Amino acid sequence: MKNLFIFSMSIFLMLATACTETSESGGSDNNNASEKKTMATKTSAKGAIQWVTLSELEQKIKKEPRKVMFDLYTGWCGWCKRMDRDTFQNPEVADYINENFYAVKFDAETSSTVNFNGNAYEFVPGRRRGTNMLATRLILGDKTTGRVGYPTIAFLDENLNRIDAFPGYKNAHNFDELAHFVKEEHYKKGTTLAQFQQSFNSDIPDAKPAPRKARTPQPNIKVQPKTTN
């Protein structure tokens, strides 16, 4: 009985270790597997974004046209993880996205060929890492050159045509501004996002980073102790 218990615990520890290594690895194959698992996971809970896969997106948009939000991320991107935690977990952000968009998470380093909207997008190796051409297309549009960074939020219209892409980390307040800007189609009126932000009042407080406490500079003087004769 004791040997059976030890054997069971050994199997459990091996499985637990394997899951940890897969989730933290930066390799393309592990990222691809992680992406499939993440994209396949959906939830109907209020306050949680209902992520869909690319194939699900094409089916849903035929039945009920909506704009599409792409979260372009990589497994090694720390700011991507912070957006997952601080922005996409915000109930007001999640509810607004669920009501007005289809949301897709896409690992920009997906190594397999991706078929989407009638096109095949391949993985292109780079010096250190590569990029799937779907991510490049969503970020750069028709540009042949440009900088690709993460996280980047890209939007498509109801016909799966690219609207624009917005690179960089955004807290819940700033993301709420961006989502309303796209949903209400202010970009069609010649209004920039910066101009829209000046007039839009989000219900989500802007969580500014706490200011650093000023440090009192120490004099670079060494005081010699008094000596008595």
Residue 109 lies in a domain: yes
Reported pTM: 0.72
Cβ neighbours of 127 (radius 10 Å): 5
Tell me which residue of 113, 111, 82, 63 sits closest to 175, measured CA to CA. 82
pLDDT of residue 216: 52
Residue 221 lies in a domain: no
- Residue 189, domain CATH: 3.40.30.10
pLDDT at position 83 over 90: yes
- Give the CA distances from residue 5 to residues 10, 13, 14, 19, in Å, rounded to whole numbers and listed in that order: 9, 12, 14, 22
Select the more confidently predicted residue: 3 or 63. 63
Place of tokens 């909207």: 117
The alpha carbon of 27 is separated from its chain's Cα centroid by a whole number of angstroms, namely: 18
Structure tokens at 85: 């935690």
> pLDDT (tens digit, 9 = 90+) per residue, 100-139?
999 999 999 999 999 999 999 999 998 888 999 999 999 9
Structure tokens at 138: 């969503």
pLDDT of residue 180: 98
Q: What proportion of the chain, given as a percentage, has pLDDT over 90?
A: 65
Residue 17 lies in a domain: no
What is the average per-residue pLDDT within 170-177? 97
- β pairing state of 152-156 and 67-73: antiparallel
- β pairing state of 101-107 and 67-73: parallel
Enclosing H/E stretch for 183:
helix 172-183
Residue 222 lies in a domain: no
Domain around 82: 27-199
Residue 21 lies in a domain: no
Of the listed ranges 16-20, 37-41, 135-139, 174-178, the one predicted with least confidence: 16-20
What's the structural domain count of the chain?
1
- β pairing state of 114-116 and 67-73: unpaired
